[in-house]
Amino acid sequence: MPKFIVGGKVEKNVGFSQEFTSLAMLPMIFGGGDLLRRNQTGQTSPHKKSSLRYGTFATMLPNFRGVNRPGYPGKFRMKAKIIITPKKAVLDPQGKTVQSALEQMGYRGVTGVHIGKYIEIDLAPGTDKVAAEKAINDAAYKLLSNPVIEDYRLEIAE
């Protein structure tokens, strides 16, 4: 199974995640945005470019994604990871196009490609996992996904 690079990370077994949508944009729109500023600090990291280019090595670099960052000494922060996929009954023309491209390139045995979104939400250290899961489920149903056309999977990682 090949690895696919998503937003500077290496994702396994999620098919093609075409769009990396950071939730950081939401506080920007509604005015707020503590999470956003922290995130931007991270994105100005001099390793940003190289981390994209050499996905697998990115996590080994210091100062990447909250590791050893000022304010969070030596701590991984909690993250909510949400994978959104189109429902089976919904036309997925992007998936179909990519599938036929793969077939033309000679990749055998591809029986379906489904293109969705991957969203990562940074949570403050010490956030109650159960409460966070409940809140983000609620947000995923109301805003992050559209239940008419999409399904989602949620995972809280520490």
Partner 1 sequence: MNFAVLQFPASNCDQDAVHAIRQLGHSARLVWHKESALGDTDCVIVPGGFSYGDYLRCGAIARFSPVMQAVKQFADNGGLVIGICNGFQVLTEAGLLPGALIRNRDLQFHCEFIHLKTVTNDSPFTNRIPTGKILRVPIAHGEGCYFADEPTLAKLKANNQILWQYCDTSGNVTDAANPNGALLNIAGICNERRNVAGLMPHPERACESILGSDDGKWIFESIFAALEAKSVAQAA
Closer Cβ to partner 1, 10 or 149, answer by number: 149
Residues 6+ apart with CB under 8 A from 94: 18, 115
Residues 6+ apart with CB under 8 A from 120: 7, 22, 23, 79, 80, 81, 82
- Bridge partners, 10 (sequence order): 5
CB of 18 to partner 1, least distance (A): 11
Closer Cβ to partner 1, 88 or 108, answer by number: 88
Cα 153 off chain centre by: 11
| Structure-token match 């489920």, residue found | 137
Residues forming the site for partner 1 (CB under 8 A): 21, 25-26, 29, 86, 89-91, 93-94, 97, 143-144, 146, 148-149
Closer Cβ to partner 1, 74 or 93, answer by number: 93
CB of 49 to partner 1, least distance (A): 24
CB of 148 to partner 1, least distance (A): 4
